[in-house]
Copies of this chain bind each other. A is one copy, B any other.
Amino acid sequence: MPEPEEEARPGRATRVAKLPPRERILDAAEELFHAEGIRGVGVQAVADRAGTTKAALYRHFGTKDALVAQWLLIVAADYVAAFDRVEERWPDEPLAQIRGVAAFVVDTLSTVSHRGCPFINSLAELPDRDHPARQVIETHKARQLARLTAMCAAAGLTDPEDAAAEITFVFEGAQVSVQNGSVDRVGERLVAFVEAVLVRHGA
């Protein structure tokens, strides 16, 4: 235990150490929003967790809604990075890329534990269609589907749109199922299911 007083020091950083306040706030937002839900976390709690104050938070983001949008932008960037990684690792092997993406989703299933997908959860918490975070979610989902469709097309699957849509169903369904705990061995089932979709579409 390298930091015996991590939580003890009163006004000091609960966060790693001395990242700039903006990063600390985003990290804290990531943890708290995902764990407790957007509406379940106050700005004061985020500032406390980041080892800073509400004033600094509002100086950087102006609004809680804007902070939520920034947080989801970062989460979306993680997915983009995952797609980039599989494309870099298996160039000209679209089937391997699709399997790589599926493996990434399986990974997030465990790390995300019982709290599900941030996008799905945020969508449930933000019924207002004009909320700034909604646009982040929608463009992310659209981009992800487009990229998946491109992979399916490159793999020579019959009807790539259908295949990508089905894979998306499986991804979302797996995230939800692991959240509500109704289905066991979700990871294995996801991989097997995606494989079946590929086979059925002519892989």
**Within the complex, what minimum Cβ distance (angstroms) separates A143 from chain B?**
9
Binds B, one of A2-10, A58-66, A70-78, A122-130: A122-130
Known: A138-B181, A189-B162, A193-B166. A127 touches B174 (CB 8 A): no
Is B127 a contact partner of A182 (Cβ separation < 8 A)? no
A172's contact among B144, B176, B196, by CB below 8 Å, is which?
B176
Assembly stoichiometry (copies): 2
Known: A172-B173, A173-B169, A182-B145. A39 touches B36 (CB 8 A): no
**Within the complex, what minimum Cβ distance (angstroms) separates A199 from chain B?**
9
> Which residues of the partner chain B approach A142 to less than 8 Å between Cβ atoms?
182
Task: Bits for A166-194, please: 1 = Cβ < 8 Å to B, else 0.
Answer: 10111111111101111100000110110
Is A120 a contact partner of B124 (Cβ separation < 8 A)? yes
Q: A-side binding surface: helix, strand, loop or mixed?
A: helix
Is B137 a contact partner of A180 (Cβ separation < 8 A)? yes
Interface residues in A73-119 (C-beta closer than 8 Å to B): 114-116, 119
A132 within 8 Å of B by Cβ? no
Is A35 a contact partner of B200 (Cβ separation < 8 A)? no
A176 to B138, CA, bound (A): 12
**Within the complex, what minimum Cβ distance (angstroms) separates A37 from chain B?**
5
A42 within 8 Å of B by Cβ? no
Closest 9 CB pairs of A and B: A169-B173, A173-B173, A121-B124, A141-B182, A124-B124, A172-B173, A172-B176, A39-B39, A165-B183
Known: A170-B170, A172-B172. 17 other contacts (CB 8 A): A37-B39, A39-B40, A40-B127, A116-B124, A120-B120, A122-B124, A124-B124, A124-B125, A137-B180, A138-B180, A138-B181, A144-B182, A162-B189, A165-B189, A166-B189, A169-B170, A173-B174
